[in-house]
Amino acid sequence: MDEYNFSFTMEELLTPKEAGKLLGVSTRTIQRWDKEGLIRVIRTPKGRRRIPKSEVLRLLKEKLNDRRAVIYARVSSQRQNRDGNLKRQKERLLKFAEENNYEVVKVFQDVASGINDRRKNFWKMLSYVKENGIPYVIVEFPDRLTRFGLSFVEKLLEEYGAKLVVAEKKMSKDKMEELVEDLITIITSFTARIYGARSQKFKKVKKLLEEELEGS
């Protein structure tokens, strides 16, 4: 952060909000970059942050040239993993990244429901993006990240200075199957709470759901 007489500068100065809008990040990210010494900031006589326009242009140029990305792939079940769905998903994403000039630095994957908020590699991916300033996260479909609360995850990525890139626009044939599996996960969870995980009623319902899934 530069300390000099604010009144003598002839360069256009931007507020953190204005700079963040141009850079595609939040005001909080600008403040964090200032604390970490990643952006040149000066202070007004009243101590307010101002960012020289030349600094914003410098960062924009760097951002345009920075094509680093991570891939996040997910399938809902071990059955889909055994069938090769996860492997093919990663192959499609790597091909997409190559065709669109992204530099893939790491691939993260999970075999878990999209409603599971304890996915180990999902959280590892977010930490990696934050710690390494990765500008892009590539997924095949938005629900690969999460079934619910996507706007929250996108906001979190924005706080980290990253953008979500969705490779596919059309629904795949496996989408309905995965949705059924996630719904079954929800039903199983609620049934366990109602009847108790050790009760015969719960075991009967769980067996019926598993048979339905196997037959789908």
pLDDT at 8: 47
Per-residue model confidence as pLDDT tens digits over 133-182: 899 999 999 888 887 788 889 989 988 889 999 998 765 555 556 665 66
Q: Which two tokens stand for residue 5?
A: 């007489």
The domain limits of the chain are 6-64, 66-166, 175-215
Share of the chain above pLDDT 90, in %: 44
Q: What is the DSSP string of 4-38?
A: S-GGG--S-EE-HHHHHHHHTS-HHHHHHHHHHT-
Per-residue model confidence as pLDDT tens digits over 36-62: 998 999 999 899 999 999 999 998 888
Show the DSSP H helices in the chain as ranges: 16-23, 27-36, 53-65, 78-82, 85-99, 120-132, 150-159, 175-195, 200-215
Question: Please, which residues have CB within 8 angstroms of residue 74's CB and are 6 or more apart in sequence?
Answer: 86, 89, 109, 110, 111, 112, 114, 119, 122, 144, 145
Beta pairing class for 13-14 and 49-52: antiparallel
pTM, two decimal places: 0.64
Domain 6-64: which topology? Answer: Multidrug-efflux Transporter Regulator; Chain: A; Domain 2 (1.10.1660)
pLDDT at 5: 46
Per-residue model confidence as pLDDT tens digits over 190-212: 555 565 655 666 556 556 555 55
Per the residue annotation, which of 7, 26, 54, 76 is the catalytic one? 76
Backbone angle region of 208, left / alpha / beta, with phi > 0 → left and psi within -120 to 50 → alpha: alpha
Options 3.40.1030.10, 3.40.50.1390, 3.40.50.261, 1.10.1040.50; which CATH number does 66-166 get? 3.40.50.1390
Options 1.10.287, 1.10.3470, 3.20.20, 1.10.1760; which CATH number does 175-215 get? 1.10.287
Task: Assess whether pLDDT exceeds 80 at residue 130.
Answer: yes
189 a catalytic residue: no
Q: Calculate the alpha carbon distances from 78 to 60, 85, 199 in Å.
A: 42, 10, 25
- Specify the higher pLDDT residue, 128 or 147: 128
